[in-house]
């Protein structure tokens, strides 16, 4: 992380929109590269050079969303084939695949939305969305809404706090860990809530059927 920022600071005049775009596109494929740092770096470049802040935000948004769509496409076209390979078939058993498919059918929107904030899980979440045939329009809308919250904000922070970019980067790293934990907890709580609600509905239906039989 520090090396990335140090390189950008030392070579700020030669780092272009294209370089930030390429770096962000690569981060979409699960490589251990810090997407947040590249977004902060984009804002820093806009502050320290003639690069335009709004163009940098647009470039960052389009690069990340393009990468996410490619991951979705890879899952859509190769996901099921991958699951059938011996290396993965013992993990993705037919029963588990059915459960995952049902989960995406019911909770796909919220999973994609929060998946944008879970860097370590994002690639798998988006690839599975494609593999289990989530509608591409639904996928893109939820991904876009989540990206609209995080991406402009991080580029903006890098721009307006360029004088303290290293300190901000360390702070963002700590916050990202907390957000990751919060996302996992939110998904877990939502799943428990939905399961209890469904159990309550089933119990209520059973009770009504018993009353009908008595009458």
pLDDT digits (tens, 9 = 90+) for 50-82: 889 999 999 999 999 999 999 999 889 887 777
Provide DSSP, 156-204: HHHHHTGGGHHHHHHHHHHHHHHHHHHHHHHHHHHHHHHHHHHHHHHHH
pLDDT digits (tens, 9 = 90+) for 168-204: 666 666 566 666 666 667 767 777 877 777 776 656 6
At 92 the pLDDT is: 65
| 143-147 own/partner pairs: CB under 8 Å, 24+ apart | 143/65, 143/68, 143/112, 143/113, 143/116, 144/65, 145/113, 146/112, 146/113, 146/114, 146/115, 146/116, 146/117, 147/61, 147/64, 147/65, 147/68, 147/116
Q: Which of 80, 68, 72 is nearest to 24 (CA)?
A: 68
At 170 the pLDDT is: 65
For the chain, which residues make up each domain, given as ranges?
2-214
Predicted confidence (pLDDT) at residue 14 exceeds the cutoff of 90: no
| pTM of the predicted model over 0.85 | no
Lowest mean pLDDT among 37-51, 91-105, 173-187, 201-215: 201-215
Q: Which two tokens stand for residue 104?
A: 């995406």
At 23 the pLDDT is: 85
pLDDT digits (tens, 9 = 90+) for 111-159: 888 888 877 778 888 888 898 888 999 999 999 999 998 899 999 988 9
Lowest mean pLDDT among 38-42, 104-108, 119-123, 177-181: 177-181
Predicted confidence (pLDDT) at residue 13 exceeds the cutoff of 80: no
Contact of 44 with 119, CB cutoff 8 Å: no
Predicted confidence (pLDDT) at residue 49 exceeds the cutoff of 80: yes
At 19 the pLDDT is: 84
């Amino acid at each position: 992380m520090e090396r990335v920022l140090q390189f950008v600071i030392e070579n700020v005049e030669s780092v272009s929109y294209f370089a930030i775009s390429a770096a962000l596109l690569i981060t979409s494929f699960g490589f251990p590269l810090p997407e947040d740092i590249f977004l902060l770096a984009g804002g820093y470049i806009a502050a320290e050079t003639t690069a335009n802040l709004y163009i940098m935000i647009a470039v960052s948004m389009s690069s990340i969303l393009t990468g996410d769509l490619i991951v979705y496409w890879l899952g859509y076209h190769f996901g099921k084939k991958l699951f059938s390979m011996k290396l993965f078939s013992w993990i993705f058993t037919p029963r588990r695949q059915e459960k995952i498919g049902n989960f995406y059918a019911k909770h796909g929107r919220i999973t994609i939305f929060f998946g944008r904030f879970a860097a370590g899980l994002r690639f798998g979440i988006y690839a599975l969305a494609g593999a289990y045939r989530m509608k591409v329009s639904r996928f893109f809308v939820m991904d876009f809404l989540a990206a609209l919250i995080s991406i402009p904000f991080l580029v903006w922070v890098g721009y307006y706090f360029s004088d303290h970019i290293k300190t901000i980067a360390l702070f963002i790293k700590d916050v990202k860990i907390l957000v990751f934990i919060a996302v996992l907890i939110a998904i877990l709580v939502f799943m428990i809530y939905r399961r209890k609600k469904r159990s309550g509905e089933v119990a209520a239906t059973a009770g009504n059927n018993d009353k009908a039989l008595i009458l």
